[in-house]
Amino acid sequence: MQNSVILITTAIESGTRSAQRKTSVLYAKSLEQIGLTGVLYTGGDAQSLAQFFDGLLLSGGGDLSPALYGGCAEASVSEFDSMRDAEELALIDAFCAHAKPILGICRGIQALNVFFGGTLFADIPNHNAVTHRITTAPHSQTAALIGTDFEANSYHHQAVDRLGHHLHASAWAPDGTIEALEHDTLPILGVQWHPERMTAHSCMDTPADHTSLFTYLTRRTPKP
């Protein structure tokens, strides 16, 4: 675990002289607490990166383009970046090919679902800037990592609709919204909440400490 290096995806923003890459410092801090090293993605060949890094953390961010899942360009869908969409889908593909662990957070769970052919709800009520209870499937990997019932933060207005191929839900909000998913065979876990804001000694939006969720990135599965 001490030697594992994790690639963290980044948002792209325009700058006065060039585009900028950014993401929350809390992702790397959460990894550091369990002995992992986080490195920010700034570009490069996805297959080469998947060979080098031990895991992929898909960070939170803006909406995915509706064109990726057959959705309509509604007014509620904003801030999508086609370049970031393409980069992250290529990274998911590459890390899957090498059977290396992927943890998707907020936007990340949505990117995973879309990659595997699933769809998204374009806009759901009562999930942005709130906290709510989450229940996990009792025998899921999600439950094994963080328990079966807890309060989580919520910073999203889109959510998983139809699950992608070989994915199954492993956690739900009280209104039935899918809050976590797992792959049937590959080391892939996605959560809709922000566990980097629920880690001791860093940031605690709720009493639940989800530092252990990041240990999923140390999981190893033989390549198919």
152: left (phi over 0), alpha (psi -120 to 50) or beta: beta
- Picking from 19, 185, 6, 22, the residue whose alpha carbon sits closest to that of residue 104 is 6
Tokens of 166: 């070989």
Measured distance CA(165)–CA(68) in Å, rounded? 15
Taking a C-beta distance cutoff of 8 angstroms, is the pair 134, 90 a contact?
A: no
Active site residues: 106, 194, 196
159-160 and 149-155 strand pairing: unpaired
Distance of CA 133 to the CA centre of its chain: 19
Taking a C-beta distance cutoff of 8 angstroms, is the pair 59, 38 a contact?
A: no
Tell me how many degrees the CA angle 35-42-120 measures, rounded to the nearest 5. 85
* DSSP type of residue 22: E
